[in-house]
C-alpha cells in the first residue's frame, strides 16, 4: 500500500455504521472528518477527536463547502467512505415520484457529487481509496423495496465503472455489502414507509412490517456494526483490496441464492417468509 493512509471522511456518521466506522478509524490514529445533517448528533465523535462537518448529502452548496474545508485543512482525503443512505419502502404504485427521486439523491447522486469534488486531490497525490457502502440489497431484492434496491443496484454498477476509470490514477474503489445489521433498521423502515393510498398492498405491507419487527425483537437477529467496520478496516489496510467485501447476517447466503436460483424460485422463497 506504500505510505499509510492518514485522512478519511465518513458520511452518515451521526449513527449506526457510520458512527462505528468513525470510532474505529479514530482509534487507528487517523484524522477523521465526519459528516451528517445534524452536527449535534456527532458531539461524542468530536470529543474523541473527529472533525465535524454539518452536511446534507442532497444539498450541493453544503457538499461544496464541506469539501472546501477538507481541502483547506488537509489537502483532501486519502479515504472517502460513502456511507450516508437510507431505505425507502412501500409499493411502487403508492410511492410518490418525488419521494423516489429523494431516495436516489441520498443514496446515489449525493455521494457521486461528493466523490467528484474529492477526486482531483486524490489524483494529484496519485493514490486514494473510495469505499462505497452498498448492501446485499444491491445484488438481490425484497417486496416493497423497489426504490431502495434500485439505488443500491445502481451504486454497484456506478462503482464498478468508476473503479476502471480511477485505477490508472492509483485510486481504488471498493464496495462493501452489509447483510442484516443491528442499526435500528426496523424503526428506520417504518419511518420511510410510503402510505398505502391504493389499499391494494395493505396485506403485503402489514406482513412485511410484522415480520421485520418480529425478527428484530430477537436479540440474535442481525450482526453488530463492528462486523462491517472490520471489513472497512481490512479494505483500508490492504495493499491491493478486493473489489467487494460482504459480511453480516445472511449477506453471503442470500446473495448466493439469488445468483444460483431462477427468478421464480427465488420469488417463491422470499414471499414464503411473509406468510
Residues classed as catalytic: 14, 134, 148, 152
- Asked if 205 and 91 touch (Cβ cutoff 8 Å), the reply is yes
Locate all alpha helices (DSSP H) within the chain, ordered by sequence: 16-27, 43-47, 60-74, 97-104, 110-125, 146-166, 185-191, 202-217, 226-237, 251-260, 263-272
- Asked if 258 and 266 touch (Cβ cutoff 8 Å), the reply is yes
Task: For residues 177 and 137, give the distance between their C-alpha atoms in angstroms, rounded to a whole number.
Answer: 8
| Alpha-carbon dihedral sign for residues 151, 153, 154, 156 | positive
Amino acid at each position: 500500500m506504500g505510505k499509510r493512509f492518514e485522512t478519511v471522511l465518513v458520511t452518515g456518521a451521526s449513527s449506526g455504521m457510520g458512527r462505528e466506522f468513525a470510532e474505529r478509524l479514530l482509534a487507528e490514529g487517523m484524522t477523521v472528518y465526519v459528516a451528517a445533517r445534524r452536527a449535534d448528533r456527532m458531539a461524542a465523535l468530536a470529543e474523541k477527536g473527529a472533525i465535524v462537518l454539518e452536511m446534507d448529502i442532497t444539498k450541493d452548496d453544503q457538499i461544496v463547502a464541506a469539501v472546501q474545508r477538507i481541502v483547506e485543512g488537509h489537502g483532501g482525503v486519502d479515504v472517502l467512505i460513502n456511507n450516508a443512505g437510507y431505505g425507502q419502502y412501500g409499493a411502487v404504485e403508492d410511492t410518490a415520484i418525488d419521494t423516489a427521486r429523494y431516495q436516489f439523491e441520498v443514496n446515489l447522486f449525493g455521494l457521486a457529487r461528493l466523490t467528484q469534488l474529492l477526486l482531483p486531490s486524490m489524483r494529484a497525490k496519485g493514490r486514494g481509496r473510495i469505499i462505497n457502502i452498498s448492501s446485499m440489497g444491491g445484488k438481490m431484492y425484497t417486496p416493497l423495496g423497489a426504490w431502495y434496491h434500485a439505488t443500491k443496484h445502481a451504486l454497484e454498477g456506478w462503482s464498478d465503472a468508476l473503479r476502471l476509470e480511477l485505477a490508472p490514477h492509483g485510486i481504488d474503489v471498493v464496495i462493501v455489502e452489509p447483510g442484516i445489521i443491528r442499526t435500528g433498521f426496523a424503526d428506520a423502515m417504518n419511518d420511510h414507509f410510503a402510505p398505502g393510498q391504493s389499499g391494494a398492498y395493505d396485506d403485503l405491507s402489514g406482513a412485511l412490517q410484522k415480520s421485520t419487527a418480529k425478527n428484530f425483537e430477537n436479540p440474535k437477529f442481525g450482526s453488530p456494526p463492528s462486523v462491517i467496520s472490520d471489513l472497512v478496516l481490512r479494505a483500508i489496510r490492504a495493499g491491493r483490496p478486493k473489489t467487494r467485501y460482504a459480511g453480516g447476517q445472511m449477506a453471503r447466503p442470500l446473495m448466493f441464492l439469488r445468483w444460483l436460483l431462477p427468478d421464480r424460485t427465488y420469488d417463491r422463497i422470499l414471499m414464503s417468509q411473509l406468510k
